[in-house]
Amino acid sequence: MATLNRKDYIKRSAIWGFIVVELAFFAIVGDVMSVSDRTFLSLDNMLLLLKQSAPIGIIALGMTIIMINGNIDLSVGATFALAAIVLLDSLTWPFMQALGDWAIPLAWGFALMTGVVLGAINGLIVWKTGVDAFIVTLASMLGFRGLVFMYNGEQPTSHLNWTLVDFAEAQFLGLHTATWFLLGVALILWLVMTKTVHGRNAYAIGNNREAAINAGIRVGPHFMLNFMLIGFLAALSAVIFYSESGSVNPNDGMLYELWAITAVVLGGTKLAGGYGSIISTLGGVIAIQLLRKGLGHIGADTQTVNLVIGLILIGVLFLDRQLNRQGKEELKI
Amino acid sequence: MNMTTRMALVCTTALLGGAAAAETMTIGITQNNVGVDSYQTTYEKAFIAAAEANPDVEAVVLDAGGDVARQIAQMEDLIQRDVDAIIIWPTNGEAVIPAVRKAHQANIPVVVTNSNIAEQGFDFVASFSGPDNITQGSRAAEIMCDRFTDMGVEGEARVVQISGQPGYTTAIERAKGFEDRLPEVCPDVTLVETQPGDWSREKSQQVMEAFLVKYDDIDGVYAGDDNMGVGALNAAKDADRDGIVFVGATNFAVGYEAMADGDYWGSIYQSPVDDAEAALQTAIDILNGEDLPFLNYFDTPKITQENMDEFEKPVF
Amino acid sequence: MAQFNKSDIGALLAKQGILIAFAVFMIGFTLANPRFIELDNVSGVIRSSAILGVMALGVTFVVIGGNLDLSVGSMMSFSTIVVLDLHDKLGPGLAIVAMFALTLALGAFIGFLVGYLKLNSLIVTLGMLSAIHGLTLTWSGGKNMDIADKSGTWFAFFGQARVMGVPVPILIFALLAVLLSLLLAKTPFGRKVYAVGGNGQAATFSGIPRARVVFMTYLLSAFCVATAGLLQASRSMGSQNTVGQGMELEVLAAVILGGASLLGGSGTVVKTVIGVLILGFIQSGLLLVGLDFYVQYIVTWIIIILAVWLDVAAKRGRLWSPIA
Amino acid sequence: MTEQTPVLRLEGIVKTFPGVRALDDVSFSVMPGEVHALMGENGAGKSTLMKVLGGIHAPDSGQIFIGEEPVVMTSPMQAKASGVVFIHQELSLADELSVAENIFLGELPLKGFGRVDWKKLHADTDAILKTLNVGFDSTKRVGDLSIANQQMVEIGRALTVNPRAVIFDEPTASLTDAEKVVLFDVIADLQSRGVGIVYISHRMEEIFRITDRISVLRDGQYRGTLTTAETDEEEVTQLMIGRKLDLSRNESHHEMGDVALEVRGLSCGALYQDVNFSVRRGEVLGFYGLVGAGRTEIAETIFGLRTPSAGQILLDSQEVHISSPIDALRHGISLVPENRKSQGLVLGMNCRDNMTLPQVDDLTAGPFVSDGAEIAIFDQYRDKLDIRTPGWRQIVGNLSGGNQQKIVIGKWLSMRPEVLIVDEPTRGIDVGSKSEIHNLIRDLAAQGYAVIVISSEMPEVLHVSDRIVAMYSGRVMREFTSEEVTEDNLIQAISGIAAEKVA
């Protein structure tokens, strides 16, 4: 890995600075405005924050890799929903019911497999047709959603299994199951992106695709692998979330892609690719959830939340540009 | 901290909280999706107004924006903030059950409002307060059948249905009530097709346009609420197709006006203000230890062009 | 006699692929249900596509200029709500003027951020999607907006009237399509939009004010959105806050289907109109042959991939991507 | 030397593209330890030959041998694996990655579970960097390096294998003299290890300094190989262009008018400082200097694309403030930019639209662009510049480089400017068109335009200029009239030698 210069350090720590500001703001304002006696900054509340960050967070972590590649995936919300349907529906299949609780890991397997297959479809199309990932996944966002509806019409798919719920609600060392998964995925992806050849190649491809191709990196399969990875992660997110909730509406997961992208961009990953970090995305995810939770805590309404999140996104982009600006000598193009 | 000690802690604090409730009770509500239609917005305003009017109540009002995950997070937040009672307007009648159970385990009574959760969750709910949507569907079927009988077409009438957002309990229950009841009262009327209108006037208008092209002969339209019903009515007007009986539910102001104009036949009168006040009252009653029926329905009567004078024009 | 070889046919397919697909669809649906091609249905489809279509016209300029606009759906909700609310307060004329002014102000804001500040359009408009939704809810207080006296106003003209038997929304859509097509294809401004999207640096070196051109594309997009909002409001005389939700992606799908490249510099208004009509007719056709609405999603998925694939394949001269 | 087997041999290579015979029976070989220059004008087929060698294009016929083995090249990777390594003119590095990761791009050393073996990576990289004798270490982020050091990283890439032949494509384009010395040391080192070097460059001075033999291509054909020690620049040039090099001075003279443009004390940060010059109507002012000397940046400043940090620009003795190309155009200044693909043309647009782009606002009939007016301009400059295109509808991206450049020149000539700045006017243009363009520039001056020509080609500057400004490292070193200029004093001025003398 490359050594960082000072500007990089500033950029990488910016999101954590933002989180600290948010915490301070909500702690102070929250004390004044909230009707609750509990302080916003309590440990339990922060642990809950991590848990609640998990569904979008796990997807956003995968999105980071896709975006470091210079691609984007708009279909994750639909993948999330379809994986959830497979998870819950498979538990009702006769042979699965015969298995008792052993059906649970199998159902997880089916759901994760669904995610991987959907990701592979995206990846294969991007690889083989050379159509831009934005268009491919924009179209498959519609297509996968169509498959979701095809599966069970417009009805919700439900299967409440208390063993599953208890597992999902369990806490180990104070952290919820979902938190463990979020942190585990973050750790693994961080290792992948910083320590492995695949991860380093991901940066190289995003930085200079031509050079990567010339250097013999097989860009097509690399893309496909990453799309399978994000498919897997979208499914994993669904598995964790729907194990706890037990019912999925065909519209679930809509707009998740936009939230995931927002988190990734807040974390400083460049849209053009080649730059970004898993840990910063984790920061981005936490920052958004904190904002949402904090605004709820101080009693802000939906419209304010929407307004604030939208403007913060634009503000971050503006700051990033200011940070990256060269001197006055710059060519004005 | 293992689970049992945590639970014990939560219980103690809940008890302490209960003691404090004698003076003020903190009631949290997580709504489905404020801003998606007037009903929910009016409900929210009415709820806040009712809570402010009552000096003993502090309300924490949250909105899930239609997202199950966000609603579950809000349930957790409310449990974490240790409110005295939680009112939930479920985004999904099944998905929120575990979250409701969590509140139940934390000794916080849960009132479900407007649209019920599925039966598996009934054990964890203190009370349901809201309209009886299955009955609403049945009543709509009856309104339509009566009208067909008056018109003398009950033997051959063809009906299309525009249902609410797929997957929402209210939509499912109303459709079920209508579909079950219609053949009972008018066995010769056929329901030719059902498509979702997603509670949206625009979507409903498009769906109706397609129906009108597809079927030359449509005698009645049942819409899951008046907003969609009026969308369908607009489509019929555009296509110059007269003589269609429109029946909706949740009488909106637009539906009421269309009835007054004679374009729209009937609906179910359901006030969000009643709905909100009933929910709050249910929660207060529970905290005061009063005995309540588990299904605490408020009445939602039939409204048609014939009896609309008995009702005030809806404010939403 | 003209001789065709394989590459000619390939080129023809790639160039006119979208028209051929359109023809195939029309014939297929007509065979499946003759009612499909009847004037009633055709006019109905065009009319219900008009709102989407008007928005797609504006987005075509943005995309050719090399940017994206994901905020149009949310902005359309805003225009609709605002004009309905103001209708009863200011009267129809002033309400329309005020609504156009406010919507154009939003467009100008986005245009300023993307054009002059050179911020990434995907993220800016994503942020605006959320922010404008918040603005709409704040304006309306979350309530549905309805015109109180629906029969006593000429406001219904735009969405519901007919002129010489043709529904006004179709007329407005057609008129805008013609005007904007001329603007894009025939005027200096149109030429500049292509230049800025095709090669922004070369455009700057040619003395084209790139920032202003990008700014103008967003202003134009906002104008189209405001028009769409007007049609929507006039058509239903009342609306929810979420009326335009999700339309940004449908609009983008129509523009892409019409063959505009997301990299900028290519696309035409006419092709976008075809893209819009394809989406509209597929939806109607599938409903008529009795397929569920979600089949349309899957069909759209496949069509978009095939259309864009053909397009890029023609440009690179080979079907499969050369990436190993 | 003749008894040895060449490390690399190409035999009878033919490559045709639709309508063009890009390589016509080209043969060429490199001996072990030899530095072999490959020369030819732009478009002579050098880059196509290299693409064939790198497996990017498959030859129609002919064969490639490495040692005695015939090989079929399928990709740059495979070429590298067979010992043929390319060092490209355009840097192909990943800015965000470290030096080590870039050098071993595509071949990072592995240990278990797909992990990068950092220890081995950095050890191997350090070894390579040591032979390159550079002052940065393997963990440095490539984006933070200077262009010259990035070039070194690029060279480092070639050394990850034991190469048999290394192809350098214009490696010194962005290097300072000191850095060149390091590069030549590296080349000498490779040479001593028996590696064959193919050295592609236009710089005669370097060619005669380091190469052993020179092979020349012209119009896709092999024109012969010369032994460096036995030839001179003139012979090479003659072989390249098919006739004697015209080093003639400009000899046409015509009335000069008032000063049209004057620049006083113009500076732009570190790019250039305290630049003074003026150009009269009817005069051609040449700017000569190495790449990076600040010539292009001055032009961009006058054209409103850069903000000067100090100094004045005067038009007709009036100070003007030019903050955008629009201002510049309004003041009658045109700039033919240096890079036609990225700055000069919208490649996806047709010829006519490209040519009329800056004045499209003025070519209207009512609200619309007037087809007739546009086509008239296009036709006029197509004939004037002899642009070969099937018609104005042709997409510019499909034209040859020379014709593309003519479109750009036509675009700016058609603006009928007061001051025309031409940056590298004949880069990538065939010899015939070159002299046409030179004549055109003279003609324009004769018609009373003030013209500034920026060029890296000495014959061109000598040929067209009335006066020549020599720049070195952001400063004007000296101004020559066409009478007093000699090749020697010009070269001294642009390489900074004159500065020491003057100082």
CATH architecture assigned to C37-314: Orthogonal Bundle (1.10)
**Which CATH class name applies to D246-332+418-503?**
alpha beta
**What token pair was written down for D73?**
């090249």
Q: Which of D137, D226, B131 is nearest to A2 (CA)?
A: D137
Return the H-helix or E-strand segment holding B221: strand B220-223
Cα distance between residue C159 and residue C137, in whole Å: 24
The angle formed by the CA atoms of residues B92, B94 and B96, to the nearest 5 degrees, is 70
Which residue in C143, C243, C288 is closest to B214 by CB distance?
C288
CA of C6: how far to CAs of A28, C12, C15, in Å?
72, 10, 14
- The answer to whether residue C315 neighbours chain B at the CB level (below 8 Å) is no
Cα distance between residue B232 and residue B225, in whole Å: 11
Which amino acid, residue D377? I
What value does the mean pLDDT of chain B take? 85
Which residue in C124, C304, C320 is closest to A314 by CB distance?
C124
**Would D8-241 and D246-332+418-503 be classified into the same CATH topology?**
yes
Spell D152-169 as b/e; 16+ CB within 10 A means b: bbbbbbbbbeebbbbbbb
In angstroms, the separation between the Cα of residue A265 and the nearest Cα of chain D is 17
Residue A103 and residue C294 in contact, taking contact as beta carbons nearer than 8 Å: no
Q: Which residues pair with D166 in a beta bridge?
A: D85, D197
Cα distance between residue A68 and residue A204, in whole Å: 9
Which residue in A56, A169, A247 is closest to B92 by CB distance?
A247
Cα end-to-end distance, chain A, whole Å: 32
Determine the residue among C205, C210, C268, C316 to mutate to test chain D binding: the one whose Cβ has the most chain D Cβ atoms within 10 Å.
C205
CATH number of the domain located at residue range(s) B133-269 in this protein: 3.40.50.2300
Task: Please list the alpha-helical segments (H only) found in C33-147.
Answer: 39-64, 72-90, 92-111, 121-140
The angle formed by the CA atoms of residues D492, D495 and D501, to the nearest 5 degrees, is 55
Residue B273 and residue B237 in contact, taking contact as beta carbons nearer than 8 Å: no
Give pLDDT, residue C283: 81
Determine the residue among C242, C247, C283, C289 to mutate to test chain B binding: the one whose Cβ has the most chain B Cβ atoms within 10 Å.
C242
CA of D87: how far to CAs of A206, D50, D90, D154, D267, in Å?
21, 11, 9, 6, 35
Domain boundaries, chain B: 3-130+272-299, 133-269
Please answer yes or no on whether A207 and D96 come within 8 Å at the CB atom. Answer: yes
Residue B200 and residue C243 in contact, taking contact as beta carbons nearer than 8 Å: yes
Q: Which residues pair with B30 in a beta bridge?
A: B62, B88
Give pLDDT, residue A204: 93
Please answer yes or no on whether D325 and C204 come within 8 Å at the CB atom. Answer: yes
Sort B276 into a burial class: Cβ within 10 Å, 0-12 / 13-18 / 19+: buried
SS3 string, D305-351, reads CCCCCEEEEEECCEEECCCCHHHHHHCCEEEECCCHHHHHCCCCCEH
Segments of chain D with pLDDT less than 70: 1-3, 18-20, 41-43, 89-91, 173-174, 176-177, 243-252, 428-433, 495-503
Q: Residue D153 in 3-state DSSP?
A: helix
Give pLDDT, residue D154: 86
Residue A5 and residue D144 in contact, taking contact as beta carbons nearer than 8 Å: yes
Residue D288 and residue D274 in contact, taking contact as beta carbons nearer than 8 Å: no
The angle formed by the CA atoms of residues B33, B38 and B41, to the nearest 5 degrees, is 55
Which amino acid, residue A83? A
Q: Which of C59, C73, C38 is nearest to C240 (CA)?
A: C73
Cα distance between residue C74 and residue C135, in whole Å: 10
Please answer yes or no on whether B166 and A251 come within 8 Å at the CB atom. Answer: yes
Give pLDDT, residue D243: 63
Residue D60 and residue D16 in contact, taking contact as beta carbons nearer than 8 Å: yes
Of B180-184, C283-287, C304-308, the poorest mean pLDDT is in C283-287
Greater pLDDT, B131 or C100: C100
Cα distance between residue A29 and residue A40, in whole Å: 10
How is domain D8-241 classified at the CATH fold level? Rossmann fold (3.40.50)
Cα distance between residue A186 and residue D329, in whole Å: 54
Q: E-assigned strands of chain C?
A: 145-146, 162-163, 166-167, 238-239
- Chain pair A-D, CB pairs under 8 angstroms: 104
Please say whether the dihedral angle defined by the alpha carbons of residues C200, C73, C117 and A60, taken in this order, is positive or negative.
negative
Number of CB atoms found within 10 A of residue A19's CB:
16
* Binding-face residues of B in 188-217 toward C, CB within 8 A: 195-196, 199-202, 205-206, 209-210, 212-214
Which residue in C144, C167, C243 is closest to B316 by CB distance?
C144
Q: Which of D68, D62, D79 is nearest to D11 (CA)?
A: D62
Number of CB atoms found within 10 A of residue A199's CB:
22
pLDDT tens digit string along D423-455?
A: 988 776 666 667 777 888 888 888 888 999 998
Return phi, psi of residue D281, to 5°. Answer: -65, 135
Q: Residue C187 in 3-state DSSP?
A: coil
Q: How far is C-alpha C51 from the chain's CA centre? A: 8
Q: Residue D194 in 3-state DSSP?
A: coil
Domain boundaries, chain D: 8-241, 246-332+418-503, 342-416
In angstroms, the separation between the Cα of residue A329 and the nearest Cα of chain B is 48
Domain boundaries, chain C: 37-314
Please answer yes or no on whether A247 and B97 come within 8 Å at the CB atom. Answer: yes
In angstroms, the separation between the Cα of residue A31 and the nearest Cα of chain C is 25
Return the H-helix or E-strand segment holding D373: helix D371-385
Kindly list the residues of chain B whose beta carbon comes within 8 Å of any beta carbon in chain A: 1, 3, 6, 26, 34-35, 58-63, 65, 68-70, 72-74, 76-77, 80-83, 91-99, 101-102, 118, 120, 163, 165-168, 172, 196
Using CB atoms, list chains with 3+ pairs below 8 Å to chain B. A, C
Q: For chain A, which domains are there?
A: 54-317 (1.10.3470)
**Would B3-130+272-299 and B133-269 be classified into the same CATH topology?**
yes
Question: Average pLDDT for residues B197-201, to the nearest whole number?
Answer: 83
Cα distance between residue A12 and residue A3, in whole Å: 13
Return phi, psi of residue B128, to 5°. Answer: -110, 130
Cα distance between residue C299 and residue D33, in whole Å: 63
In angstroms, the separation between the Cα of residue C137 and the nearest Cα of chain B is 6
Using CB atoms, list chains with 3+ pairs below 8 Å to chain C. A, B, D
pLDDT tens digit string along B26-47?
A: 899 998 887 667 788 889 889 9
Q: What's the predicted TM-score (pTM) here?
A: 0.85
Residue C230 and residue C75 in contact, taking contact as beta carbons nearer than 8 Å: no
Give pLDDT, residue D429: 66
Please answer yes or no on whether A3 and D141 come within 8 Å at the CB atom. Answer: yes
Statement: residue B315 has pLDDT above 90: no
SS3 string, chain A, reads CCCCCHHHHHHHHHHHHHHHHHHHHHHHHHHHHCCCCCCCCCHHHHHHHHHHHHHHHHHHHHHHHHHHCCCCCCCHHHHHHHHHHHHHHHCCCHHHHHCHHHHHHHHHHHHHHHHHHHHHHHHHHHHHHCCCHHHHHHHHHHHHHHHHHHHHCECCEECCCHHHHHHHHCEECCEEHHHHHHHHHHHHHHHHHHHEHHHHHHHHHHHCHHHHHHCCCCHHHHHHHHHHHHHHHHHHHHHHHHHHHCEECCCCCCCHHHHHHHHHHHCCCCCCCCCCCHHHHHHHHHHHHHHHHHHHHCCCCHHHHHHHHHHHHHHHHHHHHHHHCCCCCCCCC
Cα distance between residue C105 and residue B156, in whole Å: 55
3-state DSSP helix/strand/coil percent for chain C, to nearest 5? 75, 0, 20
Q: Which of B107, B32, B36, B40 is nearest to B74 (CA)?
A: B32
Task: Please list the alpha-helical segments (H only) found in D98-146.
Answer: 99-103, 118-132
The CA R_g of chain A, rounded to the nearest whole Å, is: 21
Cα distance between residue A76 and residue A144, in whole Å: 9
> Which of 3.40.1160.10, 1.10.4160.10, 1.10.3720.10, 3.40.50.2300 would CATH assign to domain B3-130+272-299?
3.40.50.2300
Q: Which residues pair with D116 in a beta bridge?
A: D110
- Rounded to the nearest 10 degrees, what angle do helices D401-413 and D431-446 cross at? 10
**Residue B136 binned pLDDT confidence (cut-offs 50, 70, 90):** very high
User: Tens of pLDDT along chain A (333 residues)?
Assistant: 566 666 677 777 788 888 888 888 888 887 776 555 567 778 888 888 898 899 999 999 999 999 999 999 999 999 999 999 999 999 888 888 888 788 889 999 999 999 999 999 999 999 999 898 999 998 999 899 999 988 877 777 888 888 888 888 888 888 888 999 999 999 999 999 999 999 999 999 999 988 888 888 899 999 999 999 999 999 999 999 998 888 888 888 888 888 899 899 888 888 888 889 999 999 999 998 888 888 877 777 777 888 888 888 888 888 877 776 665 667 776
Show residues of chain C in contact with B215, CB under 8 Å. none
